[in-house]
Amino acid sequence: RSKDAGGGVFHAYEPQLHVQAEERRVLEMALRQALAKGELHLNYQPVVETTTGSLSGFEALLRWTHPEHGAISPAKFVPLAEEARLIAPIGEWVLRTACKEAARWDMPVRVAVNVSPEQLHSPNFVTVVAQALAQSGLPASRLELEVTESVFLREGTGALTVLEKILDLGVRLSLDDFGTGYSSLGYLSRTRFSSIKIDRSFVQGASRGVKECIAIIRAVVALAQSLGMATTAEGVETEAELGLIQELGCSKVQGYYFGRPLPVEEARTVASHARRSAQAA
């Protein structure tokens, strides 16, 4: 449009950039208050065992309902929180809330919590995790922390040491969005991850018949098996995708096919049903 109007590149983009910066500033200010105002809550998405179909646990996913703008995606506000140095307090709230809510479910399934690199590198992170467990009464074995490969990017930050301390608490670790970052197989063998989560993009690619995606999933499953780790396929939406994932040997699945992220009461109901069908079996 601006090209046709004869505007140069800078004229075309400057106002746009300005709006973005302004929008960011406003969002950042709102996010700063979101915690105190109770605008944050968690949803829980089921994770299921591929072979038995039984409930393995839930992943806690952060939600922000802005009073005017409505629901804002974590894909948008989590990076903003990271840049604005708000992720530590928000992440602490997520940990405490997830532990507290999961402790009340009547099925001892696991809860997985996403952890940002910023959070992991903050000096009191291990204490925060230990306190969230102690205050909620949730056994450490029921908590899993999801980190992405990017935690290993900043050398000398002691990420491995922090992860070791987390493991010493009895908490599990999983490697999220595997294959989308700077995969270093060295870190995989040096950290005791319980599970590698295969990013949705590979699942989607595989279901469209992209040979490379199928090959990568196969290789990751083989690698995980040889390291004694499980694999979780993310973003399984259809029966056909589930079939493919079963065939490729992923141990767990998560995705809209089994359930969307649910409000805590609904997750609780799902956990109760799972308990009953487990007892019936």
Contacts 24+ apart (CB under 8 A), 84-88: 84/28, 84/31, 84/32, 85/118, 86/28, 86/31, 86/32, 87/116, 87/118, 87/119, 88/118, 88/119, 88/122
Query: What span, in angstroms and rounded, lies between the C-alpha atoms of 174 and 146?
Result: 5
73 forms part of the interface with ligand C2E (CB under 6 A): yes
Query: What span, in angstroms and rounded, lies between the C-alpha atoms of 278 and 25?
Result: 49
As measured in angstroms, the least distance from the Cβ of 174 to ligand C2E is: 10
Query: What span, in angstroms and rounded, lies between the C-alpha atoms of 35 and 273?
Result: 32
As measured in angstroms, the least distance from the Cβ of 278 to ligand C2E is: 23
Q: Which of residues 103-162 bind ligand C2E (CB under 6 A)?
A: 114-116, 146
Q: Are strands 262-263 and 40-49 parallel, antiparallel or unpaired?
A: antiparallel
179 forms part of the interface with ligand C2E (CB under 6 A): no
Instruction: List the one residue from 15, 65, 256, 263 that touches ligand C2E (CB under 6 A).
Output: 256
As measured in angstroms, the least distance from the Cβ of 254 to Mg ion is: 8
Instruction: List the one residue from 74, 108, 181, 249 that touches ligand C2E (CB under 6 A).
Output: 74
Residue 78 interaction partner, one of Mg ion, ligand C2E, none, beta carbon < 5-8 Å per kind: ligand C2E
Is the CB of 266 or the CB of 275 nearer to ligand C2E?
Answer: 266
Tokens of 273: 């049903």
Instruction: List the one residue from 251, 255, 268, 271 that touches ligand C2E (CB under 6 A).
Output: 255
Q: Which of residues 194-223 bind ligand C2E (CB under 6 A)?
A: 200
Query: What span, in angstroms and rounded, lies between the C-alpha atoms of 194 and 52?
Result: 19
Instruction: List the one residue from 50, 114, 191, 251 that touches Mg ion (CB under 5 A).
Output: 114
Is the CB of 9 or the CB of 75 nearer to ligand C2E?
Answer: 75
149 forms part of the interface with Mg ion (CB under 5 A): no
144 forms part of the interface with Mg ion (CB under 5 A): no
Whether residue 243 contacts residue 223, with contact meaning beta carbons closer than 8 Å, is answered with no
Q: Which of residues 13-72 bind ligand C2E (CB under 6 A)?
A: 45, 61-62
As measured in angstroms, the least distance from the Cβ of 256 to ligand C2E is: 4
Count the neighbouring beta carbons within 10 Å of the beta carbon of residue 116. Answer: 21
Angle at 109 between CA 91 and CA 90, to 5 degrees: 5
Query: What span, in angstroms and rounded, lies between the C-alpha atoms of 77 and 82?
Result: 8
SS3 122: coil
Which spans of this chain sit near ligand C2E (rule: CB under 6 A)? 45, 61-62, 73-75, 78, 91, 94, 114-116, 146, 176-177, 200, 234-237, 254-256, 261
